[in-house]
Structure 1
């Protein structure tokens, strides 16, 4: 239906509704009912774009049903036969009996009665439905009425009981009022008696208050005395507390000092143990150093010999490389000569081929050439061929000699390379051993002590030798010298040691004066006689006798003077009431 609404044009705006009106002439009264008195009936319908419609009958708004009921039986309506439209005749011809019946009823004018009958039946059905609902409501109301009647009876019963309750409460209140009146009379009598007792009590109170006043004055005096005593007590208590605090502090100090003393003793014992351990380790290192000194000298000698061998091998390698270079030059020259000779041979072969070809040509020519000339030419060609063949043989022999020489030089190169690698391996091994021995010697001489080394550097003594480096001991007596001298082997050989007394480091260090080494002579039969270049150490070793065996040492021990001792090759040192065994260095 929205298609019938005007959508606008170039000159007019679109509208939202469409209206159609139909005018019917009713002057003959064809339309009966309430509209029979109208000569003209106007029916109007207004359609909006939202699909809603409004109906008007003689400009009075009405229902669609009102309009359809007017046209019932007139041939106008949804199934109107008065207006013949396209295809309607064919539908009438092809209509079924039920469809044809509709048109006939409309033409006979009974459709409006059927519609009214249908509406009446609908109303009756709706009325019956309403009656059923009313019956249901009636039953529900009856139930509620019965419930309300029960509640009404209960309310009446409640009113009666409430009235009885009020009556009983009134009677109870009257009884209570009587009892309370009697109690009030009794209390009034008791109150009179209490008033009498109160007056007597007030008199007693006044006398007691007077006594209290006197007691208060006494209490004030006692309080003042108590305050004075309490002040003195607190002062004494404070003095006692300060004394107790001082005693406690003194006890804590004493306990702390005892604990510190115990800790110091423990640390001292630990330091003594560490010192003993260090001395034992130092003795072991010194013995090991003495034992390793011959190996060190031997390693140094081996190092020098290895260095000499290495130098010789390197010189031989250099000479071989020079010879190899010369050989390469000579070989290149031979190759060039060989190439020239090969070229010459090829040239001679080509010439020989041409001569043979010429010989064939001459033979083919027959008798035209002289036989003597031919033989002479052939002789020259054979001579040239022999010379070329001899040159080729010489070059081949020279080439074979060159190949053999190359093979020999390569074999010699491989042998020299193997010897060089072995020499380098021995040299590295001996260098490592020498470094190990030097490290052990440095440890034995104390050169790894950082504080001592820094002090020596400050004093300018770092380059000065140690005593162990200066001594030359007779073979077999190294352990004996090491046992007797002990830590003194680390002594630094200096001139005027007294100049360095003011700046000694906080570490173990010893120095020996080497100014008058030559003035000291060794005593025969003493350990000093086993040492060369002993210097001042000779005085220390002169009091130590030597013995080849332990039995000899024991026999000699009985004849020792005061301050003398005896030592064996094995480092067994015997003295007056003493025995010491030296350990060899490892």
Structure 2
């Protein structure tokens, strides 16, 4: 596997689409400082998944997008694509079948980052997983950037271990182990939460089981209640239906009488329509006559207008003929003048043309003399230019040497200043302030960690408080919901009873003042409602009249509704014991109730019968009413039956509603209090969380500050080393400038002598050049004078020719216009003659049209008279039709009244059906099974018993059965989940053990092999000495790795005592030792040879050349020796400021071309 090419577009300084090929095993990227070479390394690291902007030398990930230059605008996105040759199948898995593999990354200005594998969009993790174990990655040992060599050798043991792990190919195992540990942690958290949920769910199931039994009993009673309500509604619907059939018979009779009137009305309408048709026919004929009169009048008007127009046109033609005659005479005079002027112009032109020919010959001779003088002057000037060029060349060389001497002097001055600045900066960098700041930042980091731990404990306490408040809130809301359901049920029952009472009151009709229904006027003692209800039913819905004497009732009998018993009331007479009046409380008591005795049963009634006075009767508690002459037993079917019982039930329900409303208000207050407590707990939890986040942020900031200070310390050391290196280079540059200044001064003295000789030749040549210029000027002035005279004569001739052509055009134009005037006079004369004939014809047509108009006017008057007669007959027929319509309206009123009665009965029947629909039943289901002897009263009593049984159950959780089944199923599901999680936890722990075992084995073998290769490579690179790797701990999973190196002749106790070049060679030895074991597809080196001298660069190049047989090397260098080693040179230039471009050269092909 090898890297074939890199495609860049908009990445950093590579704004234009650029392709960098890598055809050889060793490719060197060269170019001046700041041209963008290191951007190639950044591009590779970026595509491989680098997510830190700092490691890409930026502040944000969008900094990799070209940000514009002095001549270009910023771009909106950038992309980099790496194309690999995978013909060897190094990349396995699903991509092993591809010989070429393309990995691409694209980022936009809104920080959206996209990855692609062979053109297919993928995740960043897919890219990192693809190269796991190959040695490639954003921070692997295969990419060595500037300064990384020294950082590598000075890495901490744990950081150095990462390179060994990558070489061992166990990075993918570590990634899997990390994922497995996360899964174990999540699984353990899920087990804890699941155990809590299972315990709570078990306690809920015990409570729900008890509630479910009560709910089943409640549902059975409600089903029975629903059936009774449906049958009771069906009984009432049958009664209303029979009433509707009776009224529909009366409606049919009235409809027949209405149909007869409508037939008579339609006969009248036929006569009216006949008169209307005749009227319309006459109107149509009258319109035709009027249209004819209008047409004739229009024709008369048009003929009169045509006659007037012809007379006006004749006058216009006469005036125009007179004007044309005058214009023709003027035009003839103008034509004669133009012909005379044309003859004069022809004569003047014949005299000027011969003089022009003679002047042209004179000009030709003068130009030949001027040409000869100019030729001599050009020859002289050519010689002078050669002398001047030599003079200026010498002068420029002298000036150039002066500039170079000045530039070298300036460079010496700048170099001297730079040496002083570097010495000052080096002195300033020797400061211990940064180390003190680092110690203070580390102390702050430890303090922030302690605060973060305290904040985490407070969050846990707040979560517990919130859980308690949530449970209290749920309990309060559940109790509130139960109370609300009871209140809604009571209110529904009260509304239903109230509707039945209003219906019973409406059926009684309008009552006179002072008269009311009995059940509304009396106050029955508890327990006697059913007995009083039966008596009132037997009395046929009695009405009561407050304190009216019987004589007054008889006198006002016609004002009371028919079919009802009227009972006067007493208010001053106390209830008598042993009578029906004793069943009522003080207040209004019907006088009849004092004459009705009350006994326990029928046997007691028989005993009391002989002692009854006239007009008295006896009623039993079981519902029999009898006297000496009659006996009533059973029930009577009436709409008002049950009104007293409903009235008592409504009073009881109102008391329950008031109690439940108070209870609901109290529960609402408790729920609101619980909600407030929950809200306060949530707010406190949010505050503690925010405090935790702030503590974590402070801890992170402190850690970041420590890391930044450590980086500053490292950068300070690096900066000191760079200053020392630059100081050496500046001193070398200053010595070279002194030698160059001496050489330039000697060259200047020779050139100044040659310049003095050339100035003397320049002064001698001035007089000869003036003579040649005077001769050339005289000849040229003579030729110019002759040309000027010729030009004036040519202008005169041209003016004469133009005037001649002007006169010719005027003659032609006058002749043409004169012909047009003559033709126009002929046309007008003919038109004047043609106008005299139509005028006589128009006068004859006008007389005929006037006669036709008088005939049509007489016919119009006749049609108008006939129309008046027909309209009088039509009005008489319409009056008769109106009388029939009044009778029809009267019948419709009667019919509408009957329909209203039917509609009222239907509405009552529909209200019964609506109540039936509310129970979810229909008549089709009830009527077939309804008993023929069913009566409303018996069914009402049975319904009340069932309703009472339901009420005795109290508050019932109807959802308990379904909720119990749901929670039981959930409990079973949670138990299964618990078992699955326990099994999964065992599996994950087993996987951890296997991963650890494999990691230890691979790490141990890799460490030994890399250590062995390092021991072999180090002496080759240094020409002697020794180096080896050591473990910091016995635990192979956590141990760090250190490197010990001793160059030839030295006994260093630590790696930090090595020089910069020695550190670089040691790090390269380690990297190449890793490459021997697990060579990555390619290796990128960014100026790693910078700290090496020529001898060590040679050793480095030799080692790279040997390893290039198995590894592809791409390196950035400024060293000529390293450039010579490459098989392919790729140059990076920046001819345009801020924009990098590529120049590639194949060294082998170039050498072959030179040799040829």
Q: TM-score, normalised by structure 2?
A: 0.15
Higher RCO, 1 or 2 (CA under 8 Å, sep at least 6)? 2
Larger radius of gyration: 1
